[in-house]
Structure 1
């Protein structure tokens, strides 16, 4: 019945900065970009190479989301990568701070975290079968 996740939605504080981060740095492709005058809000539909989608929204003065200590709700968004080391090197070359690489105690896979422009925790996770 539930086959896959269609998209994840993110609300950002600086639309242009977040759009640049997700498209130019993370390399997501723009599917559609719309401005909704009634809500004073942009909606940017983005796609990863495998078809997974991310929606980026801007709203005037959104409330901050506490993330440390960890808040109730969505904890983080994780991206499959072939090499955590290569992804870290790439992000660091773009000026993005990345945590130290760790090993998942249950799967033995490498992973680490970095943040988007609003501090949303994003994870790099070593893809199974790579």
Structure 2
């Protein structure tokens, strides 16, 4: 029935800051960018592997209720070849990254950082 994740939608508070973060810091490829005048909203389609991230801006979106345990989507996780290398690269770009941990169930390393709006993002070793 379900085959794959097609996209994840993220609403940001400052479109320029978030666009810079996802494109220039994380290195996601821009597929398309649309301004929807009737909604005073941008929609930026970004490619990550076979999936996409849709980055939206809306006037005055509400804040995330709590970190990170609010009901609903908990976090976005990206698979990487080396958590340590990616964490160091992110730190070199000024991103605060939590200490690397080991998943007790898989033995693989992982860690978290946040996007400009505090959305928790995980990197998980391949």
**Does the alignment pair 1:16 with 2:30?**
no
Q: How many residues align?
A: 126
Q: Following the alignment from structure 1 to structure 2, what is the Cα–Cα distance between the partners of residues 109 and 69?
A: 21
With normalisation by structure 2, the TM-score equals 0.98
**Does the alignment pair 1:115 with 2:122?**
no
Query: Which sits farther off after the overlay, 59-68 or 20-29?
Result: 59-68
Q: CA RMSD in A?
A: 0.8
Query: How far does residue 67 in structure 1 lie from its aligned partner after superposition?
Result: 2.8
Query: Which sits farther off after the overlay, 12-21 or 63-72?
Result: 63-72
Helix, strand or coil for the counterpart of 1:68?
coil
CA contact (8 A) 2:111 2:124 kept: yes
**Does the alignment pair 1:104 with 2:107?**
no
Q: Following the alignment from structure 2 to structure 1, what is the Cα–Cα distance between the partners of residues 122 and 67?
A: 15
Query: How far does residue 52 in structure 1 lie from its aligned partner after superposition?
Result: 1.4
Query: How far does residue 83 in structure 1 lie from its aligned partner after superposition?
Result: 0.2
Q: Following the alignment from structure 2 to structure 1, what is the Cα–Cα distance between the partners of residues 90 and 67?
A: 22
Helix, strand or coil for the counterpart of 1:19?
helix
1:92 is matched with 91
Per-residue deviation, residues 63-83 of structure 1 (Å, max 9, x unmatched): 001232610000000000000
Instruction: Note the residue ranges of structure 1 that are not aligned, 5 or more in a row.
Output: none
2:27 is matched with 27
With normalisation by structure 1, the TM-score equals 0.95
61 and 116 in structure 1: CA distance in 2 versus 1, 3 angstrom threshold: same
